[in-house]
Copies of this chain bind each other. A is one copy, B any other.
Amino acid sequence: MLKEMFENVKKKTPLIHCITNYVTVNDCANILLACGGSPIMSDDAAEVEEITSICNALVINIGTLNQRTISSMLLAGKKANELNHPVIFDPVGVGASKLRNETAEKLLEEIKFQIIRGNISEIKMLALGNGSTKGVDADIADVVTSETLDSVIAFAKEFSKKTGAVIAITGAIDIVCDTNNAYVIYNGHPMMSRITGSGCMLTAMMGAYLAANQENPLEAAASAVCAMGICGELAYEKLEETGAGNSTYRNYLIDEICNLTADKFERGAKYEVR
């Protein structure tokens, strides 16, 4: 099932509008091309509604938000909602400043998101108004373990109910759920946290997966998480061979997404549904 989501991206070449941060934007564009989508980055209030209208999905990432782009996010999000284009939200660093908290809150109020993806601290912050974000990384106190897994799933399903969005909480163990079902995904590698942008890239890629699989948002999101995790593992195998470091690992990761096949996907995916 998840494999089909992956294949649909290749078939449909969805065009994804990203309003995203300037730190990882190039990697987001390249991973969208790698997975079979096509990126367009645009953030001026005067054009975002038109741009999003010609796209198949919108990804909003607040990594380096500023006053100018916040209004663009709102305009684009509302337009996408109006057109029934899927909208994905990555609340990077929410909890780290009032501006991020208020912006995230406003976005959640005014835009209907199909997927919200963050680390556990970010999602807790969104859902509960607390959580202990350490900059853009999850706080150690929040980490999902096999002991806390069930309660985190329950929490995520609750937040899905509240928002109507598929919730994706990524970390050592990834949880992707709607109100009823949770995919618990065991793919990935710790090296992914030694590069900037693995979260942003995943969110961007979710845009492509969701655009190509609008009728199955839960499976689309879970499939993107699996793909990223599998490729994180494959990239690490390559890293072990070559002895390279984190910069090259970033390239390997995107390369593996570029070279991922349905067969590798099938063999590599490690998940259960709860």
Chain A interface (Cβ < 8 Å from any Cβ of B)? 15, 21-27, 29-30, 33-34, 38-44, 46-47, 50-51, 54-55, 63-68, 93, 96-100, 134-137, 194-197, 243-248, 250-259
Contacts and interface: CB of A to CB of B under 8 A. Distances in A.
Nearest to A243: B259
Most chain B CB within 10 A, of A15, A39, A65, A99, is at A99
B34 A247 contact: yes
Contact of A246 (B33, B38, B43, B97): B33
Given A38-B137, A46-B99, A98-B47, A245 B255 contact: yes
Nearest to A251: B247
B99 A47 contact: yes
B34 A135 contact: no
A42 to B, nearest CB: 6
A211 to B, nearest CB: 13
Given A30-B246, A41-B23, A254-B245, A66 B68 contact: yes
A195 B33 contact: yes
B33 A134 contact: no
Contacts of A256: 245
A67 B63 CA distance: 20
A46 B29 contact: no
8 contacts: A21-B41, A30-B195, A30-B247, A38-B137, A46-B99, A50-B98, A247-B255, A247-B258
A243 B252 CA distance: 11
Given A66-B43, A66-B68, A250 B30 contact: yes
Contact of A135 (B55, B97, B196, B251): B55
A229 B43 CA distance: 31
Given A41-B21, A96-B54, A194-B33, A255 B251 contact: no
A27 B25 CA distance: 12
A259 B191 CA distance: 13
Given A42-B97, A244-B251, 13 more contacts: A22-B41, A26-B26, A26-B27, A26-B196, A30-B246, A40-B136, A44-B65, A46-B98, A47-B96, A50-B99, A54-B96, A54-B134, A55-B135
